[in-house]
Amino acid sequence: AEYHKASAKGLDPALAVIPTPELGAVARALGGGGATVRTVDELRAALGDYVRAPHPTVIDVRITRDVLSVPYRRIQYGEDV
């Protein structure tokens, strides 16, 4: 949200980006299940792995910044959508 708030106010949105480690890999390193996913197919695969062998699992879902919800577009950008 901070990324888009900065952009809506004409500020550099890159300043709101905080790098994070791949939390799926961190979970695996600690002995749990884990996956970092960027697509719906990767998410389905990670969920399938969990369903087949349920155990503590982290699924780190990396989503695009390009899609904004309708309420957010109305509030931050004044769009009538």
pTM: 0.72
What pLDDT does residue 73 have?
Answer: 85
- For residue 38, pLDDT beyond 80: yes
In which domain, by residue range, is 28 found? 2-77
**Residue 22 C-alpha from the chain's centroid:** 11
Between the alpha carbon of residue 6 and those of residues 1, 26, 64, the distances in Å are: 9, 30, 16
Stretch (H or E) spanning 3: helix 2-8
When divided into structural domains, the chain yields a total of: 1
Query: How sure is the predictor about 3, in pLDDT bands with cuts at 50, 70 and 90?
Result: confident
